[in-house]
Amino acid sequence: MTETSLARRGFLLGAAGAVLTGCTSNEPPAATNAAAAGAGANAQPGPPVTIGFSAPAADHGWMAAMTVNAKAQAARFSDVKLNATEGTNDVNQQIAQVESLINAKVGVLVILPFDGKALTQAGRQAMDAGIPVINVDRVFDTPLAYRTWIGGDNYRMGVNAGDYIGAELKRRGITNPVIGEVAGIDALPLTQERSKGFRDSLQRHGFTVGPRVSAQFTPESGEQQTANLLQSASTLHALWNHDDDQGVGVVAAIQNANRKDFFMVGGAGSKNMMNQIKSDSGPVKATVLYSPSMASSAIALARLLGQRKGVGDLAEHEIPAEITTYSAVVTKENVDSYLDVGFDS
């Protein structure tokens, strides 16, 4: 796995949640993917907007959900026409696709770049042509390449995972725990940020990270690396896995080793992990969101930009320049509230 599927997930809460309540259409049809709910004057049909959409290939559960969510959200607006290119992991091909959307004179562009640095010039080209750009998750090198950025918070993802684990260990009366970590690709800044947040959080609880391995955001690598970790750790009280797609393999390794001495927290918010949390029948007790629902919000924001509207319930006349989604912790107690943003992994 390369950077195809590496900058991850988010769910919009707090003040930014106004985007979800003020940007969208009338009653959405039933769907398995999350969509913004309609409310207020912004929900009423306005001038037609053509939105260009470009993303990497859907070769990973989270990435596939990003494209599915974007298309489903666009379909909910009677005043939106979506011009979506075929997903690609070839940087030059994605640049060419973005340039074709610019030449087609779309009203707004939504770009989830395979590589933010490599696609920066294409984003600037669109902005210079008067086409506002919504940059999704993998950020361009300069704000001049986008009108609005929306994406996840990798550091807080680690913080919230650590806070849940720390609190749960204290609740169980474990004072000197062994805490494992199955990270993603260590060379990537997003993995480094998640791990730093995790370390910082555990330190505040008086704990440290114990055995740690790095996987590749795939089930196969998750299983292999977790098997290595378990062989080296005869004692373990908790485990955080950065990514629910690779978590499929992590859980398999735990089951193959017949280990029942610790609990596990996932990352991203896949549907199958949420179902395991709800059934409470295995090691997974929580997952920290980095939800592809951000793609739905990106389309909603693009529509507002095309219609020159602000975000409902916010005082500002314009939509924000940046929106960072929140990594909520999904547990057995609140899982029903988040199943709608779960994705297939």
Q: Which CATH architecture has domain 3-152+292-327?
A: 3-Layer(aba) Sandwich (3.40)
Low-confidence ranges of the chain (pLDDT < 50): 1-39
Q: Do domains 3-152+292-327 and 154-289 have the same CATH topology?
A: yes
Backbone torsions φ then ψ of 270, nearest 5 degrees:
-75, 160
Structure-token pair, residue 101: 């959307």
Nearest to 55 by CA among 24, 1, 20, 97: 97
Domain ranges of the chain: 3-152+292-327, 154-289
The CATH label, of 3.40.50.300, 3.40.220.10, 3.30.230.10, 3.40.50.2300, for the domain at 154-289 is: 3.40.50.2300
pLDDT of residue 60: 83
Give the pLDDT score at 345. 81
SS3 string, the chain, reads CCHHHCCCCCECCHHHHHHHHHCCCCCCCCCCCCCCCCCCHHHCCCCCEEEEEECCCCCCHHHHHHHHHHHHHHHCCCCEEEEECCCCCCHHHHHHHHHHHHHCCCCEEEECCCCHHHHHHHHHHHHHCCCCEEEECCCCCCHHHCCEEEECCHHHHHHHHHHHHHHHHHHCCCCCCCEEEEECCCCCHHHHHHHHHHHHHHHHCCCCCCCEEECCCCHHHHHHHHHHHHHHCCCCCEEEECCHHHHHHHHHHHHHCCCCCCEEEEEECEHHHHHHHHHCCCCEEEEEECCCHHHHHHHHHHHHHHCCCCCCCCCCCCCCCEEECECCEEECCCHHHCHHHCECC
